[in-house]
Chain A
Amino acid sequence: MVRLEPRRQHSQAMVYLSPVLAILMTLFVGGIIFSFMGKNPFDALYTFFILPINNSYGISELFVKATPLVIIAIGLSMGFRANVWNIGAEGQLTMGAIFGGGLALYFYDSESMFLLPAMFVLGAIGGAFWGGIPALLRTRFNANEILTSLMLTYVATLFLSFLVHGPWRNPEGFNFPESRPFPDAGLLPVIYDGTRVHLGTAFAVLVVIAGWILLSKSVIGFQLRVVGKAPQAARHVGFRQKRMVWFTLLLGGALSGLAGLFEVAGPIGQLQPAISPGYGFTAIIVAFLGRLHPLGILFGGLIMALTYLGGELAQITLGLPNAVTGLFQGILLFFLLACDVLTKYRVRFGTPAAKGEAA
Chain B
Amino acid sequence: MTGGSKPAQLEVRGVTKAFPGCLANDDISFRIEPGEIHALLGENGAGKSTLVKIIYGVLQADQGDLLWEGKPVTIHSPHDAREMGVGLVFQHFSLFETMTVLENIALAMNDVRDMAALRQQVIEVEKTYGLPLDPDRHVYTLSVGERQRIEIVRCLLQNPKLLILDEPTSVLTPQEVEKLFETLRRLADEGCAILYISHKLHEVKALCQKATVLRGGKVVGGCDPREETAKSMAEMMIGQKLTAPDRSGTRKFGDVRLDISDLSLISDEQFGTDLKGIGLKVRGGEIMGVAGVAGNGQNELFQALAGETEIIGTPDCIKIDGDPVAHFGPRRRRRLGAAFVPEERNGHGAVPDMSLSENGFLTAFRRMALSARGLIREVPTRSFADKIIKTFDVRTTGASAEAGSLSGGNLQKFIVGREILQDPGVLVISQPTWGVDAGAASAIHQALLDLAAKGTAVLVISQDLDEIFAICDQVVVMSEGKMSAPRPMADVSVEEIGLLMGGLHDLDGDVTLKTKELIEGDRVGQA
Interface residues of A, Cβ cutoff 8 Å to B: 5, 8-10, 213, 217-220, 222, 225-226, 229-230, 232-233, 235-238, 240, 353-357, 359
* Residues A233 and B20 in contact, CB atoms below 8 Å apart: no
* Residues A238 and B331 in contact, CB atoms below 8 Å apart: yes
Q: Which of B40-48, B83-91, B139-147, B350-358 contacts the other chain? A: B350-358
Query: Do A222 and B363 form a contact, CB below 8 Å, given A10-B353, A238-B329?
Result: no
Contacts of A226 in B (CB 8 A): 351, 354, 362
Query: Do A222 and B358 form a contact, CB below 8 Å, given A9-B402, A230-B347?
Result: yes
Contacts of A225 in B (CB 8 A): 351, 354
CA distance A354 to B21 in the complex (A): 17
Q: Which of B57-65, B230-238, B268-276, B451-459 contacts the other chain? A: B57-65
* Residues B340 and A236 in contact, CB atoms below 8 Å apart: yes
Contacts of A233 in B (CB 8 A): 347-351, 362
Query: Do A230 and B352 form a contact, CB below 8 Å, given A238-B307, A354-B60, A355-B62?
Result: yes
B78 within 8 Å of A (CB atoms): no
Interface residues of B, Cβ cutoff 8 Å to A: 20-21, 54, 60-63, 72, 74, 76, 306-308, 329-332, 334, 340, 342, 344, 347-354, 358, 361-363, 365, 371, 374-376, 402, 404-405
Contacts of A217 in B (CB 8 A): 375-376
* Residues A229 and B61 in contact, CB atoms below 8 Å apart: no
Query: Do A356 and B62 form a contact, CB below 8 Å, given A226-B362, A235-B308, A238-B330?
Result: yes
Closest residue to A217 on the B side, CB-wise?
A: B375
From A219, A225, A357, residue with most partner B Cβ within 10 Å: A219
The 3 closest A-B pairs by CB, nearest first: A356-B60, A238-B330, A238-B331
* Residues A237 and B363 in contact, CB atoms below 8 Å apart: yes
Closest residue to B15 on the A side, CB-wise?
A: A356
For the complex formed, measure the closest distance between the CB of A334 and the CB atoms of chain B, giving whole angstroms: 25
* Residues A359 and B74 in contact, CB atoms below 8 Å apart: yes
* Residues B375 and A219 in contact, CB atoms below 8 Å apart: yes
Contacts of B332 in A (CB 8 A): 238
For the complex formed, measure the closest distance between the CB of B269 and the CB atoms of chain A, giving whole angstroms: 13
Partner of B72, one of A219, A229, A359: A359
Closest residue to A220 on the B side, CB-wise?
A: B374
For the complex formed, measure the closest distance between the CB of B16 and the CB atoms of chain A, giving whole angstroms: 9
For the complex formed, measure the closest distance between the CB of B80 and the CB atoms of chain A, giving whole angstroms: 12
Contacts of B347 in A (CB 8 A): 230, 232-233
Closest residue to B73 on the A side, CB-wise?
A: A359
Partner of B374, one of A9, A218, A359: A218
CA distance A213 to B375 in the complex (A): 9
CA distance A353 to B402 in the complex (A): 30
CA distance A240 to B328 in the complex (A): 13
CA distance A304 to B347 in the complex (A): 35
Contacts of B404 in A (CB 8 A): 9
CA distance A230 to B354 in the complex (A): 10
CA distance A238 to B344 in the complex (A): 17
Contacts of A229 in B (CB 8 A): 351-354
Closest residue to B341 on the A side, CB-wise?
A: A236
Instruction: Report 20 cross-chain contacts, Cβ distance below 8 Å, ordered by A residue.
Output: A217-B375, A219-B374, A219-B376, A222-B358, A222-B376, A225-B351, A226-B362, A232-B347, A232-B348, A233-B350, A233-B351, A237-B334, A238-B307, A238-B329, A238-B331, A353-B62, A356-B54, A356-B63, A356-B74, A357-B74
* Residues B60 and A230 in contact, CB atoms below 8 Å apart: no
Contacts of B350 in A (CB 8 A): 230, 233
* Residues A356 and B61 in contact, CB atoms below 8 Å apart: yes
Contacts of B306 in A (CB 8 A): 236
Contacts of A237 in B (CB 8 A): 330-331, 334, 362-363
Contacts of A238 in B (CB 8 A): 307, 329-332, 334
From A5, A235, A240, A359, residue with most partner B Cβ within 10 Å: A235
Contacts of B376 in A (CB 8 A): 217-219, 222
CA distance A8 to B306 in the complex (A): 32
Contacts of A240 in B (CB 8 A): 329
* Residues B353 and A219 in contact, CB atoms below 8 Å apart: no
Closest residue to B346 on the A side, CB-wise?
A: A230
For the complex formed, measure the closest distance between the CB of B23 and the CB atoms of chain A, giving whole angstroms: 14
Contacts of A10 in B (CB 8 A): 353
* Residues B349 and A236 in contact, CB atoms below 8 Å apart: yes
From A213, A225, A226, A237, residue with most partner B Cβ within 10 Å: A237
Contacts of A235 in B (CB 8 A): 308, 330
Contacts of B365 in A (CB 8 A): 219
CA distance A195 to B60 in the complex (A): 68
For the complex formed, measure the closest distance between the CB of A317 and the CB atoms of chain B, giving whole angstroms: 47
CA distance A222 to B378 in the complex (A): 12
* Residues B348 and A236 in contact, CB atoms below 8 Å apart: yes
CA distance A235 to B351 in the complex (A): 12
CA distance A67 to B54 in the complex (A): 59
Contacts of B20 in A (CB 8 A): 5, 8
Contacts of B402 in A (CB 8 A): 9
Query: Do A8 and B74 form a contact, CB below 8 Å, given A219-B371, A236-B348, A237-B362?
Result: no
For the complex formed, measure the closest distance between the CB of A252 and the CB atoms of chain B, giving whole angstroms: 20
Contacts of A353 in B (CB 8 A): 62
Contacts of A219 in B (CB 8 A): 365, 371, 374-376
CA distance A236 to B354 in the complex (A): 16
* Residues B62 and A9 in contact, CB atoms below 8 Å apart: no
